[in-house]
Structure 1
Amino acid sequence: MPKTIKNQIRDLIYAYSRGVSFDILIPPNDEMGDYSTNVAFSLSKVEKKSSVECADNMKEKLDKDSDLTDYIEKIEISPAGFINFFLKKEYLFQNLKNIISQKNKFADLDIGKGERINLEFVSANPTGPLTVGNARAASYGDALGNIFRKAGYDVCKEYYINDVGARVEKLGESVLKALRDEDISEGDDLYHGGYISAIAEKIKAQNIEIPEDYQSAIIVCKNFAVAEMIQAARNSISSLGVQFDTWFSESSLHENGEVSSVFEFLKSENLAYEKEGAWWFRVSRYVAGQDDAVIVKSNGDASYLLGDMAYTKNKTVKRGFDRAINIWGADHHGDVPRLKAGAMALGIAENQLEVLLHQLVFIKRGGELVRMSKRKGNFVLLDDLLADVGRDAARFFFLMHDLNTHMEFDIDLAQERSKKNPVYYAQYAYARSQSIFEKIPGLEIQTDTLEELESEEEFSLLRHMAKFPDLLADISQSYQVHHLGQYALELANKFHKFYETNKVIGENTNLQSARLALVSGIADILKICFGLMGISAPEKM
């Protein structure tokens, strides 16, 4: 697909903007145009003129540009100095034809040009069942990966199995105590919950031999429990509709010598030093204001940081990904600068590693918030959430919220079958479109009478659909996946308003044909949105 309209406008304005910074915006309502730019405000500072005068000068140049007039009907200047662009109706009609002819390939972009991205998300410690927090990361990461692919990137969705370290040792000890019917007190820093007892019962049922030696017994229990938790994670993730391309084990980095290799390199470059029996990495050399961090503990175990450094090198150097994007929980915010410092120390370019943080999820049930703690065994499981609300509602609700904000997941609202429930309202729009087509058996969509479309509701829909490629292009750069859910909901809202005020079947033949084409285009865009979000497009509700 050629450049999106937004990018074409940006390129044309850049040629006349004297290098100043500016934005291409989507106005809040159709009366203000389809696109808008604030370039005049930046130019006014350089040219020492009013923003309106700068906007008038820019408009004069743009009005003469034949590339722009191919798809822009008119350009207006707002009283404040914004330059507003209005799309030609001929372009809107052609865009609808493209949607209908291209179906799910509409808005396929080439922004990524095949750039290889390793997108790692969820990656929960295998010390307990996946929770709603993991479900949020999974829904977001999966949708972002889908959008990357739509935008022309080569994406590997990856789950990093943290099967090394103190926490999995504690898991093994927790299971061993359950096997021996020993109480786990609060001070033991061990794991609680029914899943620990369930694992112990499986060990008994399979007659697995447990050594008498306590540490050896912990290892046996740990290995069994980790395998159980990984399989449980695979099952839960699959139930959410997420398919990872790679499940990568942290232990493989240790077994292959990649962790020790990084440690030896840091020592050889004087980037690690020994203090208080541990080895420290000189984080402060790369990130100002950051304290140095332990990479090998006093007991000889590698820290999480050293493992993450080796993992990042594995992605970018050994496997050759152009970029590594990690999606972590907000509780890891302090680890981000340390890992970035580690990547720089290993010669990995700063723009090759990005870390996105997702905020907490609070579950509301019956008007009250549910408190959660994995270690105490008090949490809302991903599987339980799916049992309560289903895959579609779970994913849609998560994808309606900015990843950087805390969210309340209202179970009661997600179960409601009304327009108050956003996923129900959006999916009902698609089902409603299909009910229209059902009334005309053997229908073939025709696009030769689109000029019959002229109502305000029709053009509001046409304009909204025309901006879909821009939306995907923006998300592929900003990672603001929640804009996709909001777009789908707005499209559904516009369609419902159109349906309630405009008759589709039963009008004169030409107008009926045009409106059927419009409904077909709306359905195609909704189906693409739902596919990217990982939810179904039901034909009946």
Structure 2
Amino acid sequence: MLVESNIKEKLRDVLFGCLKKVSENHNISLDEIGFVEIDRPANLEHGDYATNLPLRLTKQFKNNPMVIADQIVSEWPETDFVSDVSVAAPGFINFKLDDQWLQNRVTQIIEDGSCFGNNTVNDAKHVMIEFVSVNPTGPVHVGHARGAVIGSSLANIMSAAGYHVTREYYINDAGNQMQLFFGSVLARYRELLGIPFELPEGGYQGDYIKDVAELVHSEFGDSLIDNPEAINEMAQFSTDTMLNAISDDLCELRVEFDNWFSEKSLFGSDEYTDTIGELESKSYLKEMDSALWFVSTMLEEEKDNVIVKSTGEPTYFASDIAYHRNKFKTREFDQVIDIWGADHQGHISRLKAAMRALDIDDSKLKILISQMVTLKQGDEIVKASKRTGDFVTVKELVEEVGSDACRYFFLTRSASSQMEFDMELAKKTSNENPVYYIQYAHARIKNILALASDNEIDWYQADLSLLNNIHELNLIKALMRLPEVIYQVADSLEPHHMPHYALELASYAHAFYEHCRVISSNPDDEAITKARLRLIEAAQVVFEKSLNLMGMDAPDRM
């Protein structure tokens, strides 16, 4: 990790050294203490950062937390980045950052450029993030879009945190739902040709099925009429047509994948049979009622689960086990993150049990549940698509509010929280809309820097010690929080911290603009003009980086 950039880690390292000395004096093992929390205090007048560590140590040290705090602070060494360390009741330690150190960070940010905030501590870890994975039987709707945005943003941020990230889409192209899709397309194909048709029971109704049928007709002409192999002949074409449409819609949302993994490939190789064989060799399978069951109760699950039906057809759960075995054992990912829809909540426990049965550490499998989305247009709930009649597609939403608004609003709530998407707010071109507010801050910077260049102002050799106004220092502190946020998101798998950070950064930038004139025509202000231009150049780097991590544009003008 680039500790120099991450203030919390710098504080934690020094604090841990102080704690080690105090613990040795009391014959206390550091293992008893655990993780040292460092946060920003609610009242920033107390300092820039704080820890409640002394309050947590009263049991081990058998002493008053204020006394413990004093003992820790007494061991604090002289550092270049902290100017003051103080104790506050009932047992907090507050830290104030050094102004000169902060001023010098401006140059560091500019020199790091797009790499600012990145770290290398995880550079040996390979992570797969699997998300969206919609059945190729219809368009991507807004419920899927939320998981798509969460997954792609998390991948961006984890890459910045040093992980080698693979973005994967699992194509559910095997099983009964695909047969229903093919049957539905074939029925609409026959309708197109004026031939009597009947949709399969439980088939797909949307108008997009007619679109696929028209493309099938363009490709195959009338050759599928009275052809007993019609479904087989048009199956791959129909699947590819739907996958291309899904990929195109997701690209509009700026969601792309490194790999598209076919469920059918599990059965075309040895992956599925090897998985069943391994479970059987470890006595985790049993036959009952002409079906094959995974005996999950052996792994403290409440019930066993069917993996092969009495018809001989593998269940979705069987495919899922084989797929995750492939992730861990065949492709050897160090960590796998799945982003599932709310309807899959109940499947988590049994899949983790299956991993344990295969001797895979189930703690390496993280499953995030993306909860439901409700679209609002003013006070009205948007219930239906203009075209399909049963859902709102990603394409429709992006056309209505734009991809940046889609991405930002989908990211603002934690994945586990249900959310309302206010389409009216998302389209506003005012500071009331957080997307506009953030992007305008970046565009404003670009405009000022362009003006300075047009006026041939050279701000490279600026005197950064002049940046001692509270609004200047607050902006620098906000810029320096980006490395912490990247670390926090990668550690917690909670990308909603990034849009909140970007909004806070914008508020400090706008406050700076309101109180600090950047370009002055007064010759006496030349030095401060250059220093402030250097500061907003650093701010531009951080704004662009933050927006890019969220998959959003950093516009030059609004």
CA contact (8 A) 1:146 1:532 kept: yes
In the other structure, the counterpart of 2:16 is: 14
In the other structure, the counterpart of 1:40 is: 54
CA contact (8 A) 1:169 1:219 kept: no
1:434 equivalent to 2:436? Answer no
- Note the C-alpha offset of 1:317: 1.6
- Note the C-alpha offset of 1:80: 2.6
Using the TM superposition, name which of 199-208 and 460-469 deviates more. 199-208
Q: Hey, what's the Cα distance between the residues in 1 that align with 2:325 and 2:369?
A: 21
1:530 equivalent to 2:544? Answer no
- Listed as ranges, the matches of 1:245-324 within 5 Å are 245-286=258-299, 288-324=300-336
Q: Hey, what's the Cα distance between the residues in 2 that align with 1:369 and 1:447?
A: 55
Residue in structure 1 matching 2:88, options 71, 75, 78 = 78
Q: Hey, what's the Cα distance between the residues in 1 that align with 2:238 and 2:395?
A: 19
CA gap of 1:520–1:208, structure 2 versus 1, over 3 A, is farther
Residue in structure 2 matching 1:167, options 177, 201, 207 = 177
- Note the C-alpha offset of 1:405: 0.8
Which letter does structure 2 place at the counterpart of 1:231? N
- Deviations 1:37-64 (CA, angstroms, capped at 9, x unpaired): 11111111222322222222222222xx
1:238 equivalent to 2:251? Answer yes
- Note the C-alpha offset of 1:212: 3.6
- Note the C-alpha offset of 1:367: 2.1
Q: What secondary structure, in the 3-state scheme, does the structure 2 residue paired with 1:334 have? A: helix
Q: Hey, what's the Cα distance between the residues in 2 that align with 1:483 and 1:342?
A: 32
CA gap of 1:126–1:428, structure 2 versus 1, over 3 A, is same
CA gap of 1:47–1:151, structure 2 versus 1, over 3 A, is same
- Note the C-alpha offset of 1:532: 0.8
CA gap of 1:511–1:196, structure 2 versus 1, over 3 A, is same
- Deviations 1:62-111 (CA, angstroms, capped at 9, x unpaired): 2xx24xx2211111222232211111112211211101112111112012
- Deviations 1:14-45 (CA, angstroms, capped at 9, x unpaired): 34164323411122343132221111111112
1:378 equivalent to 2:378? Answer no
Q: What secondary structure, in the 3-state scheme, does the structure 1 residue paired with 2:57 have? A: helix
Residue in structure 2 matching 1:357, options 369, 377, 381 = 369
Residue in structure 2 matching 1:31, options 19, 40, 45 = 45
TM-score in terms of structure 1 length:
0.94
In the other structure, the counterpart of 2:535 is: 518
1:59 equivalent to 2:61? Answer no
Q: What secondary structure, in the 3-state scheme, does the structure 2 residue paired with 1:173 have? A: helix
In the other structure, the counterpart of 1:325 is: 337
1:229 equivalent to 2:231? Answer no
- Note the C-alpha offset of 1:352: 2.4
CA contact (8 A) 1:173 1:190 kept: yes
Which letter does structure 2 place at the counterpart of 1:2? L
Residue in structure 1 matching 2:158, options 148, 159, 179 = 148
CA contact (8 A) 2:378 2:424 kept: yes
Structure 1 runs of 4+ with >6 Å offset: 182-185
Which letter does structure 2 place at the counterpart of 1:294? V
1:494 equivalent to 2:511? Answer no
Which letter does structure 2 place at the counterpart of 1:126? P
1:460 equivalent to 2:466? Answer no
Aligned length: 533
Residue in structure 2 matching 1:121, options 125, 131, 134 = 131
- Deviations 1:378-416 (CA, angstroms, capped at 9, x unpaired): 111000111111111111111222111111111111111
CA contact (8 A) 2:385 2:393 kept: no
Q: Hey, what's the Cα distance between the residues in 1 that align with 2:347 and 2:460?
A: 56
In the other structure, the counterpart of 2:557 is: 540
In the other structure, the counterpart of 2:27 is: none
- Deviations 1:349-398 (CA, angstroms, capped at 9, x unpaired): 22322111111111112321123699x85111000111111111111111
Residue in structure 2 matching 1:422, options 416, 425, 434 = 434
- Note the C-alpha offset of 1:10: 2.1
Q: Hey, what's the Cα distance between the residues in 2 that align with 1:490 and 1:29?
A: 16
CA gap of 1:208–1:255, structure 2 versus 1, over 3 A, is farther
Q: Hey, what's the Cα distance between the residues in 2 that align with 1:295 and 1:14?
A: 50
Which letter does structure 2 place at the counterpart of 1:536? D
Which letter does structure 2 place at the counterpart of 1:492? A
CA contact (8 A) 1:74 1:86 kept: yes
- Note the C-alpha offset of 1:316: 1.6
Residue in structure 2 matching 1:477, options 484, 491, 514 = 491
CA contact (8 A) 1:111 1:473 kept: no
- Note the C-alpha offset of 1:208: 5.5
Using the TM superposition, name which of 444-453 and 463-472 deviates more. 444-453
In the other structure, the counterpart of 1:368 is: 380
Which letter does structure 2 place at the counterpart of 1:8? K
CA contact (8 A) 2:55 2:65 kept: yes
- Note the C-alpha offset of 1:296: 0.7
Give structure 2 stretches of 5+ with no counterpart.
Answer: 24-29
- Note the C-alpha offset of 1:225: 2.7
- Note the C-alpha offset of 1:218: 4.1
In the other structure, the counterpart of 1:130 is: 140
- Note the C-alpha offset of 1:336: 1.0
Q: Hey, what's the Cα distance between the residues in 1 that align with 2:443 and 2:90?
A: 43
- Note the C-alpha offset of 1:267: 1.7
CA contact (8 A) 2:2 2:118 kept: no
Q: What secondary structure, in the 3-state scheme, does the structure 2 residue paired with 1:326 have? A: strand
Give structure 1 stretches of 5+ with no counterpart.
Answer: none
TM-score in terms of structure 2 length:
0.91
Q: Hey, what's the Cα distance between the residues in 2 that align with 1:298 and 1:218?
A: 24
Which letter does structure 2 place at the counterpart of 1:121? F
CA gap of 1:399–1:366, structure 2 versus 1, over 3 A, is same
Which letter does structure 2 place at the counterpart of 1:423? V
- Deviations 1:246-274 (CA, angstroms, capped at 9, x unpaired): 11111111101211221122122211101
Using the TM superposition, name which of 53-62 and 463-472 deviates more. 53-62
Which letter does structure 2 place at the counterpart of 1:12? V
